[in-house]
Amino acid sequence: MLAGFRTGLACAFAMLAVSALPLQASASEFICKPSALTRESADLASAWSKGSTPLRILAIGSSSTEGIGASGKDKTYPAQLSALLRAGLAGRSVEMVNAGIGGETAPQTLSRLKTALVEGRYDLVIWQVGTNDAVTGGDLGTFRQLVADGIAAAKQVRTRLVILDPQFYPGIKETARYRTYVDAIAEVARAQAVPVLSRYQAMLGWYQRDADGFMAALAGDRFHMSDAGYGCLAQDIARSLLGDKPAVTLAASVR
């Protein structure tokens, strides 16, 4: 599904078995295939599997993190990811903090991110950023600096950070301009050796494989993700964080 972690996590721990969460969609069959993902860190999975304290993860961003379009809080990507990580980590407690606020742009989320990094301890932060900025436009140089500032804030407190980039959806206007935000995130993150989950590339791939079936990944507004879309996103993130040897079992499709 996702095609874009930029740095390597080559490790997995023995006996990993992540089961697919039940996914539902009212649209035609939607194929949910795992992507070839690079990895976040060489020691992430092994370190997580050995810990006894709760694994604390902050998911911060806008509507895709809050879960707009999902049928319930348990169908958001952070909630589904939390369940998958608990299964894959053989029962280790996972504390997932969903700090998504729909409609935010990068300056607003960055302010909250900096506060959260100072006030709390997290083993991982997933920063979903760029969609609303790409939709509304603005100064691209300023946006790049905001992404760099967020990365710097995480590094200052030695917190692992991964970035979740904007989604693809069929109604994108000014596609070339929208794509410049996706590319800007990748370029800034690559320069700082921070991994990016490229949701844009993943969803574009879904659409290119099956444009009609792809609509099951979106909510009724054809912009936000559905239960199925969030579920596939969660499974791909889990696979990327936990490793794939032995392979994580993912859903083949949802109906």
Domains and CATH numbers, the chain: 30-254 (3.40.50.1110)
* 254 pLDDT more than 70: no
**What percent of the chain lies above the pLDDT cut of 70?**
75
Give the DSSP letter of residue 217: G
* 168 pLDDT more than 50: yes
Q: Which pLDDT score is estimated for 237?
A: 85
Q: What is the mean pLDDT of residues 133-151?
A: 95
Query: What are the Cα distances from residue 254, in Å, to 48, 150, 211, 215, 216?
Result: 30, 35, 15, 12, 8
218: confidence class by pLDDT, cuts 50, 70, 90? very high
Average pLDDT over the chain, rounded to an integer: 80
- Tens-digit pLDDT profile for residues 82-91: 998 888 887 6
44: confidence class by pLDDT, cuts 50, 70, 90? low
Answer for the pair 126, 23: CB distance below 8 angstroms, yes or no: no
Report how far residue 56's alpha carbon sits from residue 44's, in angstroms, rounded to the nearest whole number.
13
* 5 pLDDT more than 60: no
Among 148-162, 200-214, 236-250, which stretch is predicted with the lowest mean pLDDT? 236-250
Give the DSSP letter of residue 57: E
* 37 pLDDT more than 90: no
Answer for the pair 219, 37: CB distance below 8 angstroms, yes or no: no
Amino acid identity, position 30: F
- In sign, the C-alpha dihedral spanning 186, 191, 197, 202 is positive
* 179 pLDDT more than 50: yes
Beta pairing class for 253-254 and 30-31: antiparallel
Q: Which pLDDT score is estimated for 16?
A: 26
93: confidence class by pLDDT, cuts 50, 70, 90? confident
Report how far residue 237's alpha carbon sits from residue 255's, in angstroms, rounded to the nearest whole number.
21
DSSP per-residue codes, 207-244: HHH-HHHHGGGB-TTSSSB-HHHHHHHHHHHHHHHH--
Q: Give the residues across from 20 on adjacent strands.
A: none
Question: Which residue would you say has higher pLDDT here, 79 or 11?
Answer: 79
Answer for the pair 126, 195: CB distance below 8 angstroms, yes or no: no
Amino acid identity, position 18: V
* 65 pLDDT more than 60: yes
